[in-house]
Structure 1
Amino acid sequence: MADVKAAKPKSEKKEKVKSVAPAVQSFGKKKVRCFNVVCLVCCLPLSHSSLKQCNQTAVAIARVRGRGRGMIKVNSVPLKLLRPEILRYKLYEPILVVGERRFRKVNMKIHVSGGGHTSQVYAIRQAIAKGLVAYYAKHYDAASALELKKQFIQYDRSLLIADPRRMEPKKFGGRGARARRQKSYR
């Protein structure tokens, strides 16, 4: 028993170090993951931008680096090897909308976690689009970033603007958040 009690504070210390990330909030001892859309563009050396995108419970962090060859990797796997194949076409949408020539100058590394297949794919495509816009705004000029934004929004607004809908918690007296039990008068 003494070993178990001694092990708990060590793991709590490790969790406190991990909670430095902006996507985790601490309320006492309980850790709660934020569902809000958070976009962070950091100023890093070697023309490097970092961007975080959340969709439902999936979180995608995109690192955009200049002087690249147009390589995009998700969790260290190239984009063309991702599965399921049907959802892979959703990931190619930002590339096809603005053209491959815009992506030839940058390399992207995306780390995604949480959620299911679909929400991860939507978080990745938002991170790709927002990362490219942020990179062009920071390292080129505002006009080219604005042009990219217009192209993305004209094609699909959800490429740049996250879906704020969340599941409402269930309440008592019924089977769901709003549904109530049927009442019989006779």
Structure 2
Amino acid sequence: MSEKKPKIKNAEKIIFTTGKRKRAIARARFKLGTGKVTMNQKSIETIGNELVKMKIKEPLMLMGDRAKGYDIIINATGGGIMGQIDAARQAISRGFVEIIGEEAKKTFLSYDRNLLVYDVRRTEPHKPPRSSQGPRRYKQRSKR
């Protein structure tokens, strides 16, 4: 079985990765730099609340000093803010696995499997009788 080769441009050493969560898709571009991370042309320090910042910084904290050698540019589309954040952290993690290799993969899998593996859970479609109330909601009945 042949190993996947990372998608690297010739002289610039740019790596492209993707991540998905529900309807959100994030595309990350890694290039040698000073450790700046931007998402949709904004610094990650200006995005959302503290939970959002912590979630997107998780892969960077797990990699420690090795993360500071790359500038990461993320473009996220679709879904909501949390779906985009989860997709972005998956794209970041996959990029570090391509750069560093098996050591990064073991670190991410031991911390949180969803950093590398796509999460297949979806919302259940609403059913016809009372479709505005939810997929399993039925009229309440009195027993007496």
Higher relative contact order (CA 8 A, sep 6+): 2
Contact 1:64 1:135 in 2 (8 A): no
Contact 2:24 2:79 in 1 (8 A): yes
Instruction: Write the letter of the residue equivalent to 2:70.
Output: V
Instruction: Write the letter of the residue equivalent to 1:103.
Output: A
Counterpart CA distance in 1 for 2:9 and 2:123 is 36
- The one of 15, 35, 41 equivalent to 1:70 is 35
Contact 1:68 1:105 in 2 (8 A): yes
Contact 2:20 2:86 in 1 (8 A): no
1:104 match: secondary structure? helix
TM norm structure 1:
0.65
Instruction: Write the letter of the residue equivalent to 1:178.
Output: R
TM norm structure 2:
0.82
Structure 1 unaligned runs (5+)? 1-40, 137-144
Contact 2:18 2:90 in 1 (8 A): no
Contact 2:19 2:89 in 1 (8 A): no
Shift of 1:177: 2.5
Shift of 1:98: 2.1
Counterpart residue number, 1:171: 127
1:44 match: secondary structure? coil
Contact 1:98 1:152 in 2 (8 A): no
Structure 2 unaligned runs (5+)? 1-5
Structure 1 residue 93 corresponds to structure 2 residue 51: no
Q: How does 1:103-182 map to 2 (within 5 A)?
A: 103-136=67-100, 145-174=101-130, 175-181=133-139
Q: Percent identity?
A: 33
Please provide the CA RMSD for this pair: 2.1
Counterpart CA distance in 2 for 1:162 and 1:170 is 24
Counterpart CA distance in 2 for 1:181 and 1:43 is 58
Counterpart CA distance in 1 for 2:84 and 2:21 is 7
Larger Rg, first or second structure (1 or 2): 1
Encode CA deviations 1:34-89: one digit per residue, 9 max, x unaligned.
xxxxxxx6343321111121111111110111x32112111122222222233111
Counterpart residue number, 2:3: none
Contact 2:24 2:78 in 1 (8 A): yes
Instruction: Write the letter of the residue equivalent to 1:129.
Output: S
Shift of 1:107: 1.4
Contact 1:173 1:181 in 2 (8 A): no
Counterpart CA distance in 1 for 2:50 and 2:138 is 40
Counterpart CA distance in 2 for 1:181 and 1:131 is 49
